[in-house]
Amino acid sequence: MASQEANPKLQRLFIALDLPDAIRDGVTAWGEAELIDPALRPVRPESLHLTLVFLGDREADKVEAIGDLVRGLSAPQALMKLEDPVSLPRRRRASLFALPAPSPATTDLHHGLVDRLEVAGLHEAEKRDFWPHVTVARVNSEGGGSRRPAAVTRRPGDLPDGVKVPFYGVRMTLYRSELQPGGSRYVPLAQVELPGAGQQ
Ligand code: ATP
Ligand code: MG
């Protein structure tokens, strides 16, 4: 049977903060009005998240240890706030649009996780700085065999003030990302609720 193959399959893993419903709903409503350029592929509402640590392809037998580590983290409250959309990369054609979420608490959470994962031999820290953000749309390629992103002429406008209020991350989740043509699906594998979840 496929599920009992001798070779463990690699799983694409990442640890993320989930957003409170009110913020998720606000971002979704904004996106329905602003992420309308035909070149854009908006992130599904249920998939909106802030990536804390991208682990990449990992052996399936490491999942349990990573999940235990996530569940065991006595995470402090992570207060954050979303900012108006930016596109990346900055100096070339946009390949994605994201809402920056600058937050010392979230950066601390990132470093806390990375340190513990490194000590446990489960992850090697990336060289680049952590940039907390919520990706809201990706740009389709221009087609014709090119991998260059298509031009986005209707760039998304700013967020309404109601979405730019401070909030706490709801929970921290270890996800498996299943890459699919219509947009990746994220499957939760382990979760820990954060204190003060969703309150402002
Ligand atoms: P797709 O790549 O098919 O557009 P996706 O980006 O949603 O889908 P993944 O590539 O599995 O799915 O990424 C899962 C999460 O990890 C996303 O938040 C993504 O932005 C983030 N991520 C992916 N690659 C990296 C990376 N190299 N460094 C940091 N974060 C990453
Ligand atoms: Mg990706």
Atom of ligand 1 nearest to the CA of 138: 4
Q: How far is the CA of 56 from the centre of ligand 1 (A)?
A: 8
The answer to pTM > 0.75 is yes
Phi, psi of 196 (to 5 degrees): 75, 15
Amino acid at site 145? G
Q: How far is the CA of 43 from the centre of ligand 1 (A)?
A: 12
Residue in 11, 12, 13, 14 to alter for ligand 1 test, most ligand atoms within 8 A of Cβ:
14
* Rounded Cα distance, 106 and 38, in Å: 33
| pLDDT tens for the 200 residues of the chain, in order | 344 344 458 999 999 999 999 999 999 999 999 999 999 999 999 999 999 999 999 999 999 999 999 999 877 778 999 999 999 999 999 999 999 999 999 999 999 999 999 999 999 988 899 999 999 999 999 988 999 999 999 999 999 999 999 999 889 999 999 988 778 899 999 999 887 655 44
Q: How far is the CA of 176 from the centre of ligand 2 (A)?
A: 12
Q: How far is the CA of 47 from the centre of ligand 1 (A)?
A: 11
* Rounded Cα distance, 47 and 49, in Å: 6
Residue 91 neighbours by CB distance under 10 Å:
5
28 Cβ closer than 6 Å to some ligand 1 atom:
no
Strand partners, 180: none
Residue 90 vs residues 38, 46, 109, 146: alpha-carbon distances, Å = 21, 27, 26, 20
What the block records as the tokens of 6 is 């001798």
Atom of ligand 1 nearest to the CA of 16: 18
Compute the radius of gyration of the chain from its Cα atoms: 18
